[in-house]
Structure 1
Amino acid sequence: MTEAEVDVVTYEVQGTTAIVRLNRPQYRNAQNSAVTYALDAAFTRAVNDDEVKVIILAGNGDHFCAGHDIGTPGRDIDKSFERKAVIWYDHVGAQGVDARFARESEVYLGMCRRWREIPKPMIAMVHGACIAGGLMLAWSCDFIVASDDAFFQDPVVRMGIPGVEYFAHPWVTNPRFAKEMLYTGERVPAQRAYEVGMVNHVVPRAELEERTLAIAERIGQMPRIGLTLTKKAVNQAEDLMGQRAGMDSVFGLHHAAHAHNAEVGGDSLGGVNHKTIRDAEEKK
């Protein structure tokens, strides 16, 4: 069975909780556009189901998400898609920044912002790797429950790029730790992520799903309108602390880096791919 014949995202409901799982385990759940829109469809389904009070985002296989798809056979960067997060022209057929800015405004930054505003609580249930684009997915959720074997990493400074498109680093941790995380590109163990405030709970891997579902069910006992307004209140407070404007400013720097790489080396990713990142990790 080919990947095209398999759902890249799975959906199930347990009690009052919808569980949405990334389902490309053979590629450590790398996120391509097909995954983005399958996630959006699953989240929309959960929002429209009055029986669902809480949404859990997780990953099938050994890892939560290894990041954006920058090298699998399913990479679909040159395919058109239905724009839902922003009103923009099609990136296919455009060149340079015109193409990259259009695509990433929709598929990455725009979609994560769209999901952040989902009017039901969302919990990221993270195990194994949560790298780069995986961070964006987890950070779009309201909080994170991680297994003790989970790790978090944003290695894109290796590409000359100042962090992933959904640049939440200084808000989900703190400015000093955000700099350390980005400057070194090293893995942040779950316990350290908990200590700096990125993660809410660290639990044994064998207990991850049970513990996360228990939290979700407790939340689900609250009235829907109370949860929705509370989520909006906290999100608005974050934006008043500069998160949205900060992301907009860094998104421009992100694309300046892409353009620099393309001009100097002919590759917007600076010659970095999943293999070079893995090789660099193995040398440490």
Structure 2
Amino acid sequence: MKAMTEKFVSYEKEGHIVKITLNRPDKLNALNKDMVDSLYTAWQEFEQDKDARVAVITGEGKAFSAGVDIMNPTPVVRSVPGIGVEVTKPIIAAVNGHCVGVGLVIAFMADIRIASEDAIFMYPEAKLGITGGMGSLLAQTIPLGIALEMLLVGDGISAQRGYEIGLANHVVPNGTVLKEAMQMAEKIANNAPLPVQALKKLARDTNIMQSTGVGMLVTSAISESADSQEGIQAFREKRKPVFIGK
């Protein structure tokens, strides 16, 4: 097991799974400069580690993240996977308690979101008279009208409502969200990493398949990989495949 702790952010790796924890519970994991820098480092570490296949991000204590620290505001874009730093591997957000502002952005830029029953999703920038604009990308995850309601009104929604609109994949009892997220991460980590990463890439940019030949190049390379042959052979032999990411 590999563990790395920077100020307010912990990074733990066990097997092929990385767990990133926002660890400033006395401030409801509101992001300050140290947290932003540490998150950027964590995403880079995850992306560059060839043995890491899935990341789970969660918050310590009673909140996932209350957003940017209003008392000590700092640019936060570097903390967001897919916006401030490229992450081609799957990310699961285990959302506990309040998920606000940039916390919500981090959650919806993850690929899968599992929410505890007490989770609250909120993007209050319009109420505060500010915006960094990143919240607009919420419309890529949920229907446009509902996204605009959340962005323009600024009120919070419950975990159940989040599930109904497709923001949360699952809602689970309080205290179990990290366990559920890690179980899903294990299932993903057991799959072949090349098609997992390719499917994430293609799903996030459907134009790749629709208007270019990149999609075919990506998938044809996978079909010729050692993992592809191993998966087929393991199926024939009725055993668990051993994937190596090549």
TM normalised by structure 1 equals 0.66
In 1: Cα distance, 2:153 partner to 2:78 partner: 23
- Corresponding residue number in structure 2 for 1:58: 58
Number of equivalent positions = 206
Structure 2 unaligned regions, length at least 5: 211-246
Task: Report if aligned partners of 1:115, 1:140 keep a CA contact under 8 Å in 2.
Answer: no
**For 1:124, what is the secondary structure of its paired residue?**
strand
Q: Label 1:166 to 1:116 Cα distance change in 2 as closer, same or farther (>3 A).
A: farther
In 2: Cα distance, 1:240 partner to 1:156 partner: 35
Where is the helix percentage greater, Structure 1 or Structure 2?
Answer: 1
**For 2:18, what is the secondary structure of its paired residue?**
strand
RMSD: 2.6
Post-superposition offset of 1:230: 0.9
% identity of equivalent residues: 32
- Aligned pairs for 1:40-189 within 5 A: 40-71=40-71, 75=72, 77=74, 104=75, 107-108=76-77, 111-114=80-83, 117-161=86-130, 164-189=133-158
Larger relative contact order, structure 1 or 2 (CA cutoff 8 Å, min sep 6): 1
Q: Label 1:49 to 1:31 Cα distance change in 2 as closer, same or farther (>3 A).
A: same
- Corresponding residue number in structure 2 for 1:33: 33
In 2: Cα distance, 1:221 partner to 1:6 partner: 28
Deviations 1:146-192 (Å, cap 9, x if unpaired)? 11110100111112346753421222111111222123321110110
Are 1:18 and 2:18 counterparts? yes
Where is the strand percentage greater, Structure 1 or Structure 2?
Answer: 2
Deviations 1:218-249 (Å, cap 9, x if unpaired)? 001111111111111011128999xxxxxxxx
TM normalised by structure 2 equals 0.76
Task: Report if aligned partners of 2:108, 2:138 keep a CA contact under 8 Å in 1.
Answer: no
Task: Report if aligned partners of 1:147, 1:202 keep a CA contact under 8 Å in 2.
Answer: yes
In 1: Cα distance, 2:20 partner to 2:165 partner: 27
Q: Label 1:117 to 1:233 Cα distance change in 2 as closer, same or farther (>3 A).
A: farther
In 2: Cα distance, 1:120 partner to 1:169 partner: 20
Task: Report if aligned partners of 2:64, 2:96 keep a CA contact under 8 Å in 1.
Answer: yes
Structure 1 unaligned regions, length at least 5: 78-103, 242-284
